[in-house]
Amino acid sequence: MIFALNHHPHITRSIRDLLALWLTCCCFATFGVSCAQEHPEPQATLWNCGDSSPVIAAHYMPWFSNPETNPTPGVGWKHWNWAGPAVRHDPTSRREDGLRDLAATKYPLIGPYSSNNEAVIRYHFETARAAGIEAMIVIWYGPGSETDAVIPKLLEVAEATGLKISLCYEEKINWAPFRAPASRKDLVDSAQRDLAYLLEKYSTDPAYLTRAGKPVVFQFNYWGEDEMGRRNILPHEWQRIFDGLARPLSYVRQNQDDAFHPPIGGRYLWFTKDENHIESFGVKARAQIDEGQLEYFVGMASPEFDDSGVNGWGNGTRATPGAGLSLFKDTFERAWRNGPEMIQLVTWNDFNEGTVIEPTLENGFQYLDALEVWLGEKTGREVDLEDNRAPFQRYIENASEAERNEVPHPADEVVDRESKLDVVIPNYLETLE
């Protein structure tokens, strides 16, 4: 209505302004918070990954290994196995249905793979692009780590497939074998070296994600305290780190802690089933943007959560069932509120925690098909569900014998299966404790 008033030829500007103010006040009084959550869309030109707004990204794990298909000789099973006291999974053994015993509640449609296999990366990225995903946020443990070794290949395939890549830095402090600083100064220096390495080696790649010309870096927070104090890099320490870098970053910190903004310009929400936390995250972030304390924020959508394959990393299983598309749809809708510049899908392929939108035997292409349909409804993007399946067919056609042997027998049936796109439980989060 306000748009129509602004373009009506017989209403003067002053009257239009008064009417707009009156309508806005009525809107707040009548609809409360839900109306207040509507904000102008962010400028998509800030980002180098297309003209959509918000940007659709997915969190990506690059750490899997299957020795049968790993192009690097001598590398064994990684992240498909788990050997804890309460739960054990050994992919060299087979379940009753003939599938490998994986530390996961879902089975990848191409079978357990190696993350440094270029054919696998291409299949992932082509499939993601077909469904409307524009960027991958890749977990990164720093220079020389196993996750670091695969980044050049990810960037190469990303450029070829039209995706962008951002790295997600692990803050882990005094957590072997990642980082053990001798002092707070040592902590600052080591983080600065890591980010300087990232800037020099990756940030100028044409496939690296940027916002306002600055390379985007996400961060997973650590927690706890020890003899050095809080096991987080503190706000004033971040300022020293940023001041010592050759060029500015667009840095995005996990969750909300006002003390970090500024110097950190962005924040993102990780998986949670708490509707109140999701709501307050967006509302507070928007208020801080309006106050100039924060530059932007990233919302979250996730299909489900189940880390029983690794027994909650040894601490006991946590699970939030997806109820079909119910959780995914509810978190997807909530993620758009308050004007985020990006929505992060949690995740593309964290099989250990079960937050997987990558095609699987159990879910097929359901999550990707639903995402594409919902994006079409939100943005007018053309919907073509057949092209979600084409990368899988190309992968099979070009697969080596070892790669083809890992593809489970029912995979073809899953590809041909029509996705169920109905939502079983609307407003699903409201039903969860």
DSSP 8-state secondary structure symbol assigned to residue 215: E
Tell whether 35 is covered by a domain: no
Predicted local confidence at residue 178, as pLDDT? 77
Tell whether 414 is covered by a domain: yes
- Condensed to tens digits (0 to 9), the pLDDT of residues 301-351 reads 999 999 999 999 999 999 999 999 999 999 999 999 999 999 999 999 999
Amino acid present at 325: L
Predicted local confidence at residue 308, as pLDDT? 97
The tally of domains found in the chain comes to: 1
- Condensed to tens digits (0 to 9), the pLDDT of residues 191-226 reads 999 999 999 999 999 999 999 999 999 999 998 998
Instruction: Decide: 357 and 61 in contact? Cβ < 8 Å.
Output: no
Lowest mean pLDDT among 40-54, 55-69, 336-350: 40-54
Tell whether 33 is covered by a domain: no
Instruction: Decide: 350 and 63 in contact? Cβ < 8 Å.
Output: no
How high does pLDDT run on average in the chain?
90
Predicted local confidence at residue 213, as pLDDT? 96
Tell whether 232 is covered by a domain: yes
Predicted local confidence at residue 169, as pLDDT? 97
Q: Tokens in use for 263?
A: 């110097």
Predicted local confidence at residue 208, as pLDDT? 98
Selection from 76, 78, 162, 80 nearest residue 122 by Cα: 162
Quick check: 96 pLDDT over 60? yes
Selection from 42, 39, 33 nearest residue 343 by Cα: 42
CA distance 227 to 225: 7
Where are the strands (E) in 265-398, listed by range?
Answer: 266-268, 296-301, 305-306, 319-320, 342-345
Tell whether 30 is covered by a domain: no
Tell whether 178 is covered by a domain: yes
Q: For residue 390, what are the domain limits?
A: 46-431
Q: Tokens in use for 231?
A: 């096991």
Quick check: 81 pLDDT over 60? yes
CA distance 245 to 251: 13
Predicted local confidence at residue 180, as pLDDT? 84
Q: Tokens in use for 87?
A: 């739960």
Predicted local confidence at residue 7, as pLDDT? 35
Predicted local confidence at residue 51, as pLDDT? 74
Tell whether 11 is covered by a domain: no
Predicted local confidence at residue 135, as pLDDT? 98
Span 33-48, average pLDDT? 56
Distance of CA 163 to the CA centre of its chain: 14
More reliable by pLDDT, 285 or 15: 285
- Condensed to tens digits (0 to 9), the pLDDT of residues 249-268 reads 999 999 999 999 999 999 99
Predicted local confidence at residue 360, as pLDDT? 98
Which residues fall within 8 angstroms of residue 235, CB to CB, at 6 or more apart? Answer: 259, 260, 263, 264
Examine residue 347 and say whether the peptide bond preceding it is cis (omega within 30 degrees of 0). yes
**Would you tell me how many other CB atoms lie within 10 Å of the CB of residue 423?**
18
Selection from 216, 137, 217, 222 nearest residue 171 by Cα: 222
Amino acid present at 272: T
Predicted local confidence at residue 1, as pLDDT? 33
Instruction: Decide: 63 and 170 in contact? Cβ < 8 Å.
Output: no
CATH number at residue 232: 3.20.20.80
Tell whether 338 is covered by a domain: yes
